């Protein structure tokens, strides 16, 4: 349909314009005839992308440009977010198989929940798609509206069409006996006093204040876009990390996916004593920890980091006592106390090689459980580790084996060579734990291996010779480098909200037609305050006006 968009003032307007860009005359046939209050949205400008014959790109653009569509998308996202809160999300568990967990814990409904993919709502493609579409809508909606609005407000004609004034929500008409130019000149002072910027042109006047509050919504949109982009950026490698790592006391361990290493120097736990615990807890027969803390040292790898065949070179960068709510924080890498395990495990033993008959001590050997040294020297004797079993047991054929990789019952089979021993040397089985020596009858086995009385023995004379890992501390390692941007985005949103809420854009147009003065006023909120302000200004100009009589009806902003 061909639509004439040329105004009678001679200005050529784009398709979709409601009020002439220059003089403000209503352009559409049906609105031009009526006397209703004008729709002042975007000052009657056409949205940027409106075209008479849209092609495919215009159609996509217009889809995202529509506020109605944006509202639907926001509602859908809200509904989706709500669905995601019915049962706990998969990501809140450390070690579950979701295909059975939901059925076992929440029954058939839980299983359906899992099958629908709602157990990972916030990572699902449709949820992300909605967020992306909202992001697109934010950008396109803003662009389509802010540019025309900026243009409209930046180049305002002072003398507007009479209909534009009389169809504002605030209107005053009357007769003035003074010369119009004189009256306009006098009106400038009281308006300026109220904070208006005043522009005059002969017998017409435009007064305006706090235009910047119109940009509030768009500032909010910019903040939201930064927010969304920051959330999106968390998926980039290195920007986000959330791992639960076990740190045995006294060991340096690599933090996965980083070049950082962390050492748990000491783990402490204090429990509430019986008289400190309330009655309810006493009956549960549970010990309640008062404090648990891990003294940690953080290292950064400086060289040989990625070469697995070399030992990485580490430099200490931070030291902290990690407690609940007091994480280690080093350049955004945070370590939170998460859990602990007080089961001691053996790290190494340092037994002496002793002559059984004379009691002579030849020397001691430090046997590590992991990365055990292969050969040891003790006096004139050479000991070689032939086999080691971390969790000693015998299989169905009576052969020794290890039933797990943890050092629960560590045993070492040595081959010993030296003076007073047979040419080939002897075999010697050594259990690191005293309890296992008895349980597996170490002496009897060894007598069998030697074929007689034992000439030598490995002995531990005190507990100092046994190095234990007293506990394991579990830390939650987190990196979230996108977080500052999330805060910046949120801050900008807040700024936009303040701009839009606490200031109002007010405009007053005045024109004379002979002695007849017409005043039109527009604001985006607080009409009551605006009417009072206008009535006050008119009073200073010796025009007594009742505030309420200024109201032209209508409720369009």
Partner 1 sequence: MGKSRRTVQIVILCLILVLGGYAITTSVSGSNGKPKEGDRAPSFELLGLDGQVHTSDEYQGKAMVINFWGTWCEPCVKEMPALQAQADKWKDKGVQFVGINVGEDQMTVDNFVRQVGVTFPIMLDRDKNSVRDYGISPMPTTFFVSETGKISTIHIGQLDLDTLDAQISQLAKQP
Strand pairing partners for 520? Answer: 171, 509
- Closest to partner 1 by CB, 128 vs 488, is 128
User: 56-65 and 125-154 are packed helices; what angle lies between their axes, rounded to 10 degrees?
Assistant: 90
140 binds partner 1 (CB under 8 A): yes
252 binds partner 1 (CB under 8 A): no
155 binds partner 1 (CB under 8 A): no
Shortest distance (Å) from residue 341 CB to partner 1: 17
**Residue 114 CA neighbour count, 13 Å, CB half:** 18
User: Which of 372, 470, 476, 540 contacts partner 1 by CB under 8 A?
Assistant: 372
For residue 391, give the DSSP letter.
Answer: B
- Closest to partner 1 by CB, 231 vs 466, is 231
Using alpha carbons, list the distances in angstroms from residue 83 to 92, 139, 228, 394.
16, 27, 21, 54
Which of these segments, 126-134, 265-273, 512-520, 544-552, binds partner 1 (CB under 8 A)? 126-134
Helices assigned H by DSSP within 116-266: 125-154, 162-166, 180-193, 216-233
- Angle, CA of 211, 28 and 5, to the nearest 5°: 85
Mapped onto helix, strand or coil, the DSSP state of residue 46 is coil
Q: How many residues line the site for partner 1 (CB under 8 A)?
A: 46
132 binds partner 1 (CB under 8 A): yes
Q: Which helix (H) or strand (E) holds 501?
A: helix 483-502
User: Which of 401, 439, 447, 516 contacts partner 1 by CB under 8 A?
Assistant: 401
Say if residue 321 is exposed, middle or buried (CB neighbours under 10 Å; 0-12, 13-18, 19+).
Answer: middle
Shortest distance (Å) from residue 309 CB to partner 1: 5
Q: Which of 546, 547, 513 is nearest to 530 (CA)?
A: 547
Strand 328-330 to 333-341 pairing:
antiparallel
User: Which of 254, 323, 415, 504 contacts partner 1 by CB under 8 A?
Assistant: 254
390 binds partner 1 (CB under 8 A): yes
124 binds partner 1 (CB under 8 A): yes
Residues 17 and 432: their CA atoms lie apart, in Å, by 90
User: Which of 131, 252, 454, 497 contacts partner 1 by CB under 8 A?
Assistant: 131
Using alpha carbons, list the distances in angstroms from residue 62 to 54, 70, 137, 169.
9, 11, 10, 30
Mapped onto helix, strand or coil, the DSSP state of residue 506 is strand
- Angle, CA of 187, 190 and 194, to the nearest 5°: 130
451 binds partner 1 (CB under 8 A): no
- Closest to partner 1 by CB, 66 vs 372, is 372
Site string for partner 1, 298-317 (x = CB under 8 A): --------xxxx--------
For residue 286, give the DSSP letter.
Answer: -
Using alpha carbons, list the distances in angstroms from residue 456 to 83, 404, 426.
71, 30, 10
399 binds partner 1 (CB under 8 A): no
Helices assigned H by DSSP within 194-321: 216-233, 279-284
- Closest to partner 1 by CB, 28 vs 139, is 139
Residues 14 and 50: their CA atoms lie apart, in Å, by 8
Mapped onto helix, strand or coil, the DSSP state of residue 19 is strand
Which of these segments, 57-65, 78-86, 423-431, 514-522, binds partner 1 (CB under 8 A)? 57-65
Shortest distance (Å) from residue 381 CB to partner 1: 20
387 binds partner 1 (CB under 8 A): yes
284 binds partner 1 (CB under 8 A): no
48 binds partner 1 (CB under 8 A): yes
User: Which of 11, 103, 120, 415 contacts partner 1 by CB under 8 A?
Assistant: 120
> 353, 362 in Cβ contact below 8 A?
yes
Site string for partner 1, 74-113 (x = CB under 8 A): ----------------x-----------------------
Shortest distance (Å) from residue 170 CB to partner 1: 35
Shortest distance (Å) from residue 274 CB to partner 1: 41
Site string for partner 1, 194-233 (x = CB under 8 A): -----------------------------------x--x-
125 binds partner 1 (CB under 8 A): yes
264 binds partner 1 (CB under 8 A): no
Binding to partner 1 (CB under 8 A) within 28-47 occurs at none
334 binds partner 1 (CB under 8 A): no
Structure token pair of residue 50: 């409106």
Residues 101 and 97: their CA atoms lie apart, in Å, by 6
Structure token pair of residue 18: 């409601």
398 binds partner 1 (CB under 8 A): no
Residues at the site binding partner 1, with contacts judged by CB under 8 A: 48-49, 57-58, 60-61, 90, 120, 123-125, 128-129, 131-133, 135-136, 139-140, 143, 229, 232, 235, 254, 256, 306-309, 370-372, 374, 385-388, 390-391, 395, 401-405
């Amino acid at each position: 349909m061909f639509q004439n968009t040329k105004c009678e003032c001679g200005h050529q307007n784009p398709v979709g314009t409601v009020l002439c860009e220059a003089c403000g005359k209503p352009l559409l046939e049906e609105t031009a005839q009526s006397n209703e209050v004008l729709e002042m949205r975007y000052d009657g400008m056409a949205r940027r992308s409106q075209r008479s014959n849209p092609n495919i790109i215009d159609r996509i653009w217009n889809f995202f440009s529509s506020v109605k569509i944006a509202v639907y998308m926001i509602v859908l996202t809200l509904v989706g977010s709500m669905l995601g809160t019915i049962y706990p999300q998969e990501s809140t568990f450390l070690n579950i198989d979701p295909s059975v967990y939901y059925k076992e814990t929440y029954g058939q409904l839980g299983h359906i929940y899992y099958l629908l993919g709602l157990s990972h709502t916030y990572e699902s493609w449709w949820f992300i798609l909605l967020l992306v579409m909202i992001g697109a809508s934010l950008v396109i909606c803003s662009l389509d509206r802010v540019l025309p609005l900026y243009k409209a407000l930046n180049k305002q004609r002072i003398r507007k069409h009479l209909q534009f004034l009389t169809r504002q929500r605030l209107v005053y008409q009357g007769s003035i006996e003074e010369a119009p130019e004189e009256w306009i000149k006098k009106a400038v002072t009281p308006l300026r006093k109220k904070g208006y910027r005043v522009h005059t042109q002969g017998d017409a006047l435009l007064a305006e204040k706090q235009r910047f509050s119109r940009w509030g919504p768009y500032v909010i949109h910019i903040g939201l876009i930064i927010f969304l982009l920051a959330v999106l950026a968390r998926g980039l490698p290195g920007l986000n990390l959330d791992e639960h790592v076990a740190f045995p006391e006294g060991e340096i361990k690599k933090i996965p996916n980083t070049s950082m290493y962390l050492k748990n120097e000491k783990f402490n736990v204090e429990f509430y004593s019986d008289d400190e615990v309330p009655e309810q807890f006493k009956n549960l027969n549970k010990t309640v920890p008062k404090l648990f803390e891990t003294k940690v040292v953080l290292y950064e790898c400086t060289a040989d980091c990625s070469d697995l065949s070399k030992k990485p070179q580490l430099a200490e960068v931070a030291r902290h006592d990690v407690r609940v709510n007091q994480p280690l924080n080093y350049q955004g890498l945070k370590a939170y106390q998460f859990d602990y395990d007080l089961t001691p495990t053996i790290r190494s033993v340092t037994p002496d090689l002793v002559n059984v008959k004379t009691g002579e001590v030849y020397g001691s050997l430090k046997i590590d459980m992991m990365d055990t040294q292969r050969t040891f020297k003790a006096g004139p004797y050479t000991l070689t580790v032939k086999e080691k079993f971390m969790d000693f047991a015998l299989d169905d054929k009576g052969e020794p084996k290890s039933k797990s990789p943890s050092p629960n019952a560590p045993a070492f089979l040595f081959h010993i060579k030296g003076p007073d021993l047979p040419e080939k040397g002897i075999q010697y089985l050594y259990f690191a734990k005293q309890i296992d020596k008895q349980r597996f009858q170490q002496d009897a086995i060894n007598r069998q291996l030697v074929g007689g009385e034992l000439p030598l023995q490995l002995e531990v004379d005190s507990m100092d010779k046994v190095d234990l890992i007293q506990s394991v501390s579990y830390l939650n390692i987190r990196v979230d480098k996108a977080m500052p941007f999330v805060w910046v985005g949120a801050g900008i949103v807040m700024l936009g909200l303040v701009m839009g809420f606490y200031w109002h854009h007010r405009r007053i147009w005045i024109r004379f037609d002979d002695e007849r003065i017409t005043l039109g006023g527009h604001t985006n909120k607080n009409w009551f305050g605006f009417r009072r302000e206008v009535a006050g200004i008119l009073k200073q100009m010796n025009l007594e006006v009742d505030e309420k009589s200024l109201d032209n009806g209508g409720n369009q902003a």
